[in-house]
Amino acid sequence: MSGNWFKDHHRVLVYLPGSGGEFITALLNGQDMESSGTMTGNNRYRSYNSFPGHESLINLSKTLPESKDEWVDECRIKFETEMKLKEYLENSDLVDWKNQGNPDLGPGPIIRTIDDYTEEFAPDNTWFPTHYDYGLFREPVWKWLDYDNDYWPVHWSIMLFLKTSAYRQDGSTMTLEEKSHEFNPKNPGNTWHSEMDSYRKLYSRFPNSRISIDDKFDREFNIKTQYIDWAKRNLKSLDKYLETKNARDKFNDECYDYLNDQLPK
């Protein structure tokens, strides 16, 4: 029996938090990018086709000791095969994991109930987003999102704070201003996504599966996703946030100006 669960036509996208993995997979799966179920505010998107049982995997990871060079808690988990992952989910207490993402589904639409009255769907179920591969990376199914311009870790880190909640070790909520006030205009990438080296070191073993957001010749990715336009909308959301929260100061302005002025064209 094969250890593979994902089919060869599937694509699992591994990406660093904040870099738009759900935007990318939602778009490539054909979701309505204007719907309230897809766009959830601050230019944040939700992919109806998620990674199988990601909630159960996150809960499991929090019970395990920290691993060296992890960029998300899930880096603590490894499975021998994809079928071992499926076996774990089938025996877990997460009864609706198949509604998050299911490689057993044949090609076709994904239907999600957004509220009691609305159902939305994606025409395709090819792309699955995830922050880690659980030791299962294989070609041609798995892909990893990378970059050439060191601008991007700064952009992604700020967007992560803008769109989600970040927490201190004591469990209290951190603010975007705390992150932006780390900004160093002389060395912008110095304090951002410090774990990116371990991410790159792991996935650089698969150069043929690398998707670079800076590669102008990657037609499938750059033409279909219009990634730079997504990044521009991020900056509009950040500008609105700073105005609404009356949060403009020297540090935030320096950070915003860098993100705006250095955005790759």
Q: What is the pLDDT of residues 68-116, one digit of tens each?
A: 889 999 999 999 999 999 999 998 877 678 777 889 887 666 666 656 6
Within 10 angstroms of residue 251's Cβ, the number of other Cβ atoms is 15
Q: Which tokens sit at 154?
A: 């700064």
The pLDDT assigned to 185 comes to 81
Within 10 angstroms of residue 4's Cβ, the number of other Cβ atoms is 15
The pLDDT assigned to 118 comes to 58
pLDDT, greater one: 97 or 190: 97
Burial of 204 (C-beta count, 10 Å sphere; 0-12/13-18/19+)? exposed
- For residues 197-210, average pLDDT: 94
Phi, psi dihedrals of residue 235, rounded to the nearest 5°: -70, -35
pLDDT for 117 beyond 60: no
Taking a C-beta distance cutoff of 8 angstroms, is the pair 196, 150 a contact?
no
Sign (positive/negative) of CA torsion 132, 136, 142, 148?
positive
pLDDT for 123 beyond 70: yes
The pLDDT assigned to 112 comes to 63
pLDDT for 23 beyond 80: yes
The pLDDT assigned to 36 comes to 78
- pLDDT tens profile 214-230: 887 666 777 889 999 99
pTM: 0.91
